[in-house]
């Protein structure tokens, strides 16, 4: 992707407003503001006023209209944000997510109308894509694709010193040092198979639920030749993504933060004293350029769902990051693009010996530190048999549904996982 523009005034262009305006319905009544679910009565008048400001001028809204649109956007986002954070995410009504998306849309349009630099407009689009629900034929994704080429090139690189946490905040977490992975014993090794037929994979691995490392399946994916840290900064450096801070999500200091890909690279990839991990369930929908570089494995067609039901996840981070021993409710293909990972698998039949957390939130996660177990506290862990491998670039590991898996990045790595039923 060519990234051009200047740091100042890249949004100050009547031509850009015309391009952005063309992404919306031609007439005001075409922007229907239809919401899926119950939303409080006070919200719709705010949405209609914002819509009227966008459509009220023959050309670009003047400064007063842009300022009023920005204020309405702030109100819509703040009000819906409270609704998004009042309980479990699965209980959040789609209508409130749509209101948040509209708030982000109107905020981004206000930035363009005001002629400001476009970084904040792009960030608002990303927030709407991450936390909102699709509106107007996924207009936020189309808008960000129009804005991104006009941004200045992303700057990244090794900082002169590790960034300091702001006063009053905890310092950035660092990984506990780990040595080389345990030696792989032949009887514990996960079998390898090169490009099996659909029938062979189904009969010998899918139906009996046996793990296997697949070779040669992803050799033709464009990501195998294209992807690098520089490539990510070029394609997505300005994009806002959620980053997990800490070596593992069960650590007390673990947290999440939204930041641009360039900031993530500078703070957590180029600076090895900090540990952060980009674990993203929406990255490929948010940044379609990356999705074009991968393919859904053909073996997913053996599942019961449709292709749209397959969840594609991105895992990008430095060496030392760990996914504690846990299980997932779907079949999993874990594809390694670059870097190596040490992986250990346990059968669901050994669940009682793996000491899952008793809390509802972590019930699918073991309390045991796989590489440094406390046998006094968890004596039955010695009874659990396991298989292991070092997943290399170009290999795909099939992890059957509910299989327990522990993953440690041995170096800077990028993986793509496909969850399917």
The residues spanned by each domain of the chain are 14-150, 186-221+284-420
Percent of the chain beyond pLDDT 90? Answer: 67
Cα–Cα dist 327/344, whole Å:
12
Tell me, what's the pLDDT at 154? 59
Q: What is the mean pLDDT of residues 148-153?
A: 86
143 within 8 A of 20, measured Cβ to Cβ = yes
List CB contacts of 351: < 8 A, sequence separation 6 or more.
327, 404
Q: What is the pLDDT of residues 101-138, one digit of tens each?
A: 999 999 999 999 999 999 999 999 999 999 999 999 99
The topology under which CATH files domain 186-221+284-420 is: Jelly Rolls (2.60.120)
Q: Does 13 score more than 90 pLDDT?
A: no
Q: What is the mean pLDDT of residues 237-250?
A: 81
User: Scanning the structure block, which residue is given the tokens 């997932």?
Assistant: 328
pLDDT tier, 14 (very low <50, low <70, confident <90, very high otherwise): confident
Q: What is the pLDDT of residues 219-237, one digit of tens each?
A: 999 999 999 999 999 999 9
**What is the three-class DSSP state of 82?**
helix
Q: What is the mean pLDDT of residues 161-171?
A: 37
Q: What single-letter DSSP state applies at residue 340?
A: -
Tell me, what's the pLDDT at 6? 43
Q: What is the pLDDT of residues 42-60, one digit of tens each?
A: 999 999 999 999 998 777 8
- Residue 355 CA to its chain's centroid (Å): 29
Tell me, what's the pLDDT at 160? 35
pLDDT tier, 320 (very low <50, low <70, confident <90, very high otherwise): confident
Q: Does 155 score more than 90 pLDDT?
A: no
């Amino acid at each position: 992707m060519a990234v051009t523009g200047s740091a100042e005034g890249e949004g100050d262009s009547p031509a850009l407003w015309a391009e952005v305006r063309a992404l919306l319905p031609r007439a005001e009544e075409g922007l229907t503001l239809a919401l899926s679910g119950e939303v409080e009565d006070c919200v719709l008048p705010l949405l209609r006023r914002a819509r009227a400001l966008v459509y009220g001028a023959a050309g670009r809204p003047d400064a007063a209209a842009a300022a009023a649109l920005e204020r309405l956007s702030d109100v819509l986002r703040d009000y819906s944000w409270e609704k998004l954070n009042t309980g479990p995410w699965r209980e959040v009504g789609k209508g409130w997510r749509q209101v948040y998306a509209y708030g982000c849309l109107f905020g981004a349009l206000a930035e363009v109308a005001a002629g400001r630099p476009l970084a904040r407009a792009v960030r608002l689009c990303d927030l709407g894509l991450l936390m909102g629900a699709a509106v107007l034929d996924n207009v936020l994704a189309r808008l960000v694709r129009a804005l991104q080429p006009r941004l200045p090139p992303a700057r990244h690189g090794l900082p002169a010193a590790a960034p300091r946490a702001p006063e009053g905040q905890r310092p950035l977490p660092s990984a506990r040092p780990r040595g080389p992975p345990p030696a792989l014993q032949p009887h514990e090794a996960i079998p390898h198979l090169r490009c099996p037929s659909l029938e062979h994979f189904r009969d010998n691995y899918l139906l009996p639920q046996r793990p296997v490392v697949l070779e040669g399946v992803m050799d033709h994916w464009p990501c195998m030749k294209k992807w690098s840290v520089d490539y990510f900064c070029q394609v997505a450096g300005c994009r806002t993504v959620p980053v997990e801070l800490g070596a593992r999500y069960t650590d007390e200091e673990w947290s999440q933060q939204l930041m641009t890909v360039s900031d993530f690279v500078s703070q957590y990839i180029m600076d090895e004293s900090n540990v952060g991990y980009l674990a993203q369930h929406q990255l490929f929908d948010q940044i379609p350029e990356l999705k074009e570089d991968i393919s859904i494995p053909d073996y997913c067609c053996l599942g019961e769902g449709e292709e749209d039901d397959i969840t594609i996840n991105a895992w990008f981070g430095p060496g030392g990051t760990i996914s504690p021993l846990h299980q997932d409710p779907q079949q999993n293909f874990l594809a390694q693009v670059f870097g190596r990972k040490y992986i250990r698998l346990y059968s669901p039949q050994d669940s009682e010996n793996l000491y899952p957390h008793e809390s509802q939130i972590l019930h699918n996660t073991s309390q045991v530190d796989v590489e440094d177990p406390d046998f006094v506290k968890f004596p039955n862990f010695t009874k659990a048999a396991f298989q292991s491998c070092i997943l290399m670039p170009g290999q795909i590991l099939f992890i059957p549904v509910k299989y327990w898996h522990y993953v440690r990045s041995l170096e800077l790595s990028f993986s793509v996982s496909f969850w399917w039923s």
